[in-house]
Structure 1
Amino acid sequence: MKHPLHVTSEIGELQTVLLHRPGHEVENLTPDYLGRLLFDDIPYLPIIQKEHDYFAQTLRNRGVEVLYLTTLVTEALHTEEIREKFVDDILSESKITGEGVYRNLKEYLLSFPTKEMVEKIMAGVRKSEIPVSKKQHLYEMLEDHYPFYLDPMPNLYFTRDPAATIGNGLTINRMREEARRRESLFMTYVIKYHPRFANHDIPIWFNRDYEFPMEGGDELVLSKDTIAIGISARTAAKAIERFALNLFKRQQEIKRVVAVEIPKSRAFMHLDTVFTMVDYDKFTIHPAIQGPEGNMNIFILEKGKDEETLKITRKTNLLETLKEVLGLKEIALIPCGGGDDIAGPREQWNDGSNTLAIAPGVVVTYDRNYVSNQLLRENGVEVIEVLSSELARGRGGPRCMSMPLVRKDI
């Protein structure tokens, strides 16, 4: 079998992708806990599923193999021993510390068939699901105002963030926010125990046990030898350094990591919410990430004198840096919303710059961002629009919703 992971660019023809179809986790959102679970609104489940199915079918129509997270995790948990270990890890990471609650929750989850157990863990476990007679401690009764033993994971349909394919390896990420911390545990089990992956030597360039966070929305594979990573609200500079050291130590193909600082705000959550690659020499960009005359904080990390040091070169101009690292004379930066004072921020909020390239010059975008989409077409890019009224409520676009596993080389 060919290697199950291979991504050496942002734009190579997409062959295999990992998605997660939104499930009952989004119906466990309530107004009181939106902030805790990183949502601004509550999607309507039947419509968000319909829109997600449309997105998945759009990819299949272009010959892309679509895998689903729930299916892979279910198939990975193929023995009772692995199932029990997985539940223990989930409960530990959910900070279930009371012995009685831990035991009851473990017993409850393991009572389900594997697929239903995985779906239940994703959806969250309400306190009302565990009989009152099983609440054995005073603090359990005092905390009844909070409805969950296990919080739901409504952000799971953004499969880009918990793990990301780079070359033939993977980053399994430490998520910045506690609400998402458990998500990367799913990919740990898939890589370790799923038959599709377990028999391959898959390097892990960055692991979820590191103390500083890094998320896949900040990771862009610009070319076979250059990775870009956002220094953002969700990814720390120290994590990028750790990733670069691991990468340079364990392989020779990738020569540099370009760290790009972006404003640390909710609207500019990850690098891919303000900047994506759409063709060999074309990028979408939200102009607000640039300072006067295009100035930014950009750092090129390369291998240092030994395995524990890095050579770091500071740059200030994104356009010139891209030309340098990609060896191009000209590059087009296509502004979100055409750079308009109203359309730009509006369409960026609705992920107008969060495009998923499925081949050079072919991208999937949300239909609602009509100004940006038209501008992409005027720049020679084929734009495939997907439905977005409910999907967009989660603050992520087509790139956020997809984790490429295999792309053709360009």
Structure 2
Amino acid sequence: MANGLYVHSEIGPLKKVCLHRPGEELLNLTPDDLERLLFDDIPFLEVAQAEHDKFAELLREQGVEVLYLEKLVAEALDAAGSREEFTQQWLAESGLKGKEARAAVKEYMDSIEDTKAFVDKCIAGLRENEIDLPVRSSSTLSELVGADQDGETDLLVDPMPNTYFTRDPFAVVGRGVNLNHMFSVTRNRETLLGKYIFRDHPEYKDAPLWYRRDSAFHTEGGDVLNINAHTLAIGISQRTQAAAIDALAQNMFWGDNAEKCEITDIYAFNIPVSRAFMHLDTVFTQIDVDKFTIHPGIMGTLQVFRLTKGATEGEVKIEELNDTLEHILEKATGVDAIKLIKCGGGDPVAAAREQWNDGSNTLAVAPGKICVYQRNSVTNDVLYKEGLDLIVVPSAELSRGRGGPRCMSMPFEREDI
């Protein structure tokens, strides 16, 4: 593990995982900004942090080393001396209008001496009343009109409230990383954090990138499932374009780092575009060698494409498979009999309610041992009866962000099964 990354499955014993402890970014959520910032509600920060701390504690009790995203970024910037470059890029992507405002914000950010506190502030966002903005001596029409249009919010720089869902900005595949170009501008700023970790951090800077944040098409980590060392499942979803999977396959099979990539088969699942099926991991997640949790709405015939390396330079072969999820997963995993466990036990009301709270979005710490949200009691009871070992995470406030234990975690290292 030259670069400290090693993930060949969803269920191998978890050794290292990247989390982000919710911070002051949640205090910069207001009702008027919720839709724009991709939230349905405002979590109570104090309780959300306590729940997240319990999640981390439960993982540590299983022998997992917990890494924090904000600390990794700070370590990367300090190690490479790249804080100034990061600041300039963060400002460029902040949505700030006008040279004077940008200069004032930069001066404020530069005044934060501790790098970890600086990174926390980049994630938290900035309110207008936190700095002394200069009186405009001259303005462009764009700045003047923009100021009037932006008057509905007191935010000078938007927070990144979705950062505690570390699954999405990047995805570890094998010994490398998909550094994503995310669906929304709001969340794409999070990928800047990953850029500096995987470029500048002493332990992770040698990781090959299978995808880059400046790519033309959007993709997110919640759509990526490591089936085994040679097989990857990706959702064609609301958040991941088919063209992004084309580019990813081209990079993995024929790119500059292709010799370091062990993936030979990519299964692209065409899933419905809806909030319930936002990512592939809201549709199904693997919990044991032969078991998956699933959303009942995905039952029936699916359109799936299998991408493999062609014989001629740059060629990617595509085979269309139309079959049930059960049969597709048996083919992808090589397991004779896959068992699909329905969210809500198949009851349509319970399934809808618990899927809203990510009942099928689980994090395996070992085969058959999974982290689940406490509030999904119907689904959890079904999982208990199926013989699964459940690690129950308190979830009254964390769940308001619409993401489960898998969404809140990005494995950096798993043992082979």
The two structures have a TM-score, normalised by structure 2, of 0.94
Q: Tell me the equivalent position of 2:378.
A: 371
* Pair 1:409–1:148, CA change in 2 (3 A): same
Aligned to 1:266: 275
Comparing 310-319 with 55-64, which one deviates more in the overlay?
A: 310-319
Report the AA paired with residue 382 of structure 1. Answer: D
* CA–CA separation in structure 1 for the residues paired with 2:390 and 2:403: 18
Aligned partner of 1:295: which letter?
T
Could you say which residue in structure 2 is the equivalent of 1:24?
24
Instruction: Indicate yes or no: 2:211 matched with 1:210.
Output: no
Q: Percent identity?
A: 51
Q: 1:167-216 CA distances to partner (integer Å, 9 max, x unpaired)?
A: 00000000101110110110111111112223xx3110011111110100
Distance in 1 (alpha carbons) for counterparts of 2:83 and 2:276: 38
Query: Could you report, residue by residue, the CA deviation over 1:140-164 in whole angstroms, capped at 9, with x for unpaired residues?
Result: 7534433122100000000000011
What is the aligned partner in structure 2 of residue 231 from structure 1? 236
Compute the RMSD of aligned alpha carbons: 1.5
Give the Cα separation in 2 of the matches to 1:141 and 1:92.
17
Check whether the contact 1:230–1:259 (CA below 8 A) recurs between aligned residues.
yes
CA contact (8 A) 2:104 2:133 kept: no
Out of 120, 141, 157, the position equivalent to 2:164 is 157
Instruction: Give the drift of 1:95.
Output: 3.2
Aligned to 2:90: 90
2-structure distance, mates of 1:3, 1:179: 29
**Using a 3 Å threshold, how does the CA distance of structure 1 residues 358 and 82 change in structure 2: closer, same or farther?**
same
Q: Does 1:304 align with 2:310?
A: yes
Amino acid at match of 2:312: D
Which residue of structure 2 aligns with residue 399 of structure 1? Answer: 406
Alpha-carbon displacement from aligned partner over 1:89-127 (angstroms, at most 9, x marks no partner)? 011112334221221111111110222211111110111
Q: Distance in 1 between matches of 2:316 and 2:346?
A: 36
Q: Deviations over 1:238-257 (max 9, x none)?
A: 00111111111203621100
- Note if contact 1:6-1:168 (Cα within 8 Å) is conserved in structure 2: yes
> Is the contact made by 2:3 and 2:203 (CA closer than 8 Å) also made in structure 1?
no
Whole-angstrom distance in 2 between the partners of 1:183 and 1:306: 37
Equivalent residues in 2 for 1:100-111, closer than 5 Å: 100-111=100-111
TM-score (norm 1): 0.95
| Residue equivalent to 1:145 | 152
Secondary structure at the aligned position of 1:26 is classed as helix
Gaps of 5+ in 1: none
Equivalent position of 2:132 in the other structure:
131
Q: Does the CA-based 8 Å contact 1:357-1:364 persist in structure 2? A: yes
Using the alignment, how far apart are the partners of 1:395 and 1:224 within structure 2? 29
Aligned to 1:11: 11
SS in 2 for 1:401: coil
Q: Which amino acid aligns with 1:357?
A: A
Contact 2:104 2:132 in 1 (8 A): no
1:276 paired residue number: 285
Shift of 1:361: 0.8
Question: Structure 2: 5+ residue runs without aligned partners?
Answer: none
Matched, 1:330 2:337: yes
1:105 and 1:135, CA in 2 relative to 1: closer, same or farther beyond 3 A? farther
Counterpart in 1 of 2:252?
A: 247
Question: Partner amino acid for 1:130?
Answer: I
Of 86-95 and 138-147, more deviation after overlay is shown by 138-147
Paired residue secondary structure (2:198) = helix
Alpha carbons 1:76, 1:190 under 8 Å: kept: yes
1:253 & 1:170 partners in 2: Cα distance? 13
